[in-house]
Amino acid sequence: MKYNCTVISVADIKAARKFYEDLFGLEVFQDYGRNIAFTCGLALQQDFDWLVHLPKESILKKSNNVELCFEEQDFDSFLHKLKEYPNIECLGEVIEHSWGQRVIRFYDLDGHIIEVGENMKMVIKRFLASGMTIDEVSVKMDVSFEDLTKLLNS
């Protein structure tokens, strides 16, 4: 068996496509009109109730039980780009997790939680550039030296 993709319900396929292409730089793999698949494995579905044979009222907005996660190499530039979408509802401010990764969470146009986090390789590089040793980074991030090396070489 092979995992294929994640399909999310959208009210307006054209608006959702533009949002994901413009903000995240996603590339369309297949476009079937009311269903669009991106090369990353995310798919958008307008008329989701029709697809899954459920009543329209059972398709919830802001169910808050799943999030789509992205990593960004230039996190600060992404934050500036996100400000170009003044109607986006953020779930708080940027936070820095105990392992050092900065993230922001917000709702997309259809109420799905999106997390954009700083690329983990960039977190390691930021720590090393600040003068931390690789051993100190390992302790801070609670990650083995081997796993840090894998991330740095990826």
Average pLDDT in the 4-16 region? Answer: 97
At 107, phi and psi to the nearest 5? -90, 140
Give the Cα separation of 34 and 82 in Å (integer): 26
Average pLDDT over residues 107-126: 96
To the nearest whole percent, how much of the chain has pLDDT over 70? 100
Per-residue pLDDT band at 50 (split at 50, 70, 90): very high
Q: What is the mean pLDDT of residues 43-59?
A: 95
* Tally of CB atoms within 10 A around 42: 18
Helix/strand/coil for 133: coil
What pLDDT score was predicted for residue 145? 92
Work out the angle at residue 64's Cα, subtended by the Cα atoms of residues 60 and 65, and round it to the nearest 5 degrees. 95
What's the rounded mean pLDDT across residues 48-62? 94
In the chain, how long is the greatest CA-to-CA distance?
A: 57
Bridge-based pairing of strands 28-31 and 35-38 is antiparallel
CA pair distance 99, 153, nearest whole angstrom: 19
Mean pLDDT along residues 38-62: 95
Residue 68 one-letter amino acid = L
Instruction: Take residue 150 and report the two structure tokens written for it.
Output: 């894998």
d(C-alpha 150, C-alpha 133), whole Å: 16
Tell me the three state secondary structure of residue 89: coil
Strands across the sheet with 42-46, in order?
6-10, 42-46, 35-38, 28-31
Beta strands 42-46; 6-10: pairing state:
parallel
Average pLDDT, rounded, for the chain: 96
Tokens at residue 101, please?
A: 């990764």
Q: What is the pLDDT of residues 60-110, one digit of tens each?
A: 999 999 999 999 999 999 999 999 999 999 999 999 999 999 999 999 999
